[in-house]
Amino acid sequence: MIAAGPSALTHIPPPPRPAWTPHAGGNTATTARDAAGRTLIVTVSRGEQPRPAQRFALLTCDPVTGTHPSAVEACQTLEKVQGDPARLKADPNLVCPLIWDPVTVTANGIWDGRYVWYQRTFASSCEKRSVGDGVFDI
């Protein structure tokens, strides 16, 4: 039976505390970043559409864990661009044949409390490999 009236409100428990709380004298920005995490789900799909994904990997960068086969390299690369895959640059020394065999990649998740949503279609697997120093090599 549910009680009605003002007395029913006195038995409601307080809301839960946040997962992190700043420490006195501590760096609250670092504490907030640690709580927010650095985790992306990376996918690779044949064709111009992101689905169905032929491959996917979980990439966590603080600490480095997940199923990404080159997690350390990928995390170092993403650190340089503040977790923004759109800022990744192509390797100018890699020459790819001019063929159209599209590959679509995505990277979605949270980086330092910011939502990341990235999708890009490359002309070929070679072009995909030229960008991101291993981020999309799954």
Residue 103, in any domain of the structure: yes
Residue 7, in any domain of the structure: no
At CA 52, angle to CA 99 and CA 72, rounded to 5? 80
CA distance 25 to 47: 52
Q: Which residue reads 């981020």 in tokens?
A: 135
Type of residue found at 102: P
Residue 14, in any domain of the structure: no
Query: 80 lies in which domain range?
Result: 27-129
CA distance 42 to 30: 25
Residue 2, in any domain of the structure: no
Q: Considering its fold, how many domains does the chain have in total? A: 1
- pLDDT category at 132 given cuts 50, 70, 90 is confident
Residue 47, in any domain of the structure: yes
Residue 84, in any domain of the structure: yes
pLDDT tens digits for range 3-52: 555 544 445 555 444 444 444 444 445 445 555 699 999 999 999 999 89
Main-chain dihedrals φ then ψ at residue 121, nearest 5 degrees: -105, 125
Looking at residue 4, what is its pLDDT?
53
**Alpha-carbon distance values, 132 to 7, 9, 10, 33, 52 (Å):** 60, 54, 55, 23, 22
Q: For the domain that residue 35 is a member of, what is the CATH number?
A: 3.30.350.10
Residue 18, in any domain of the structure: no
Residue 91, in any domain of the structure: yes
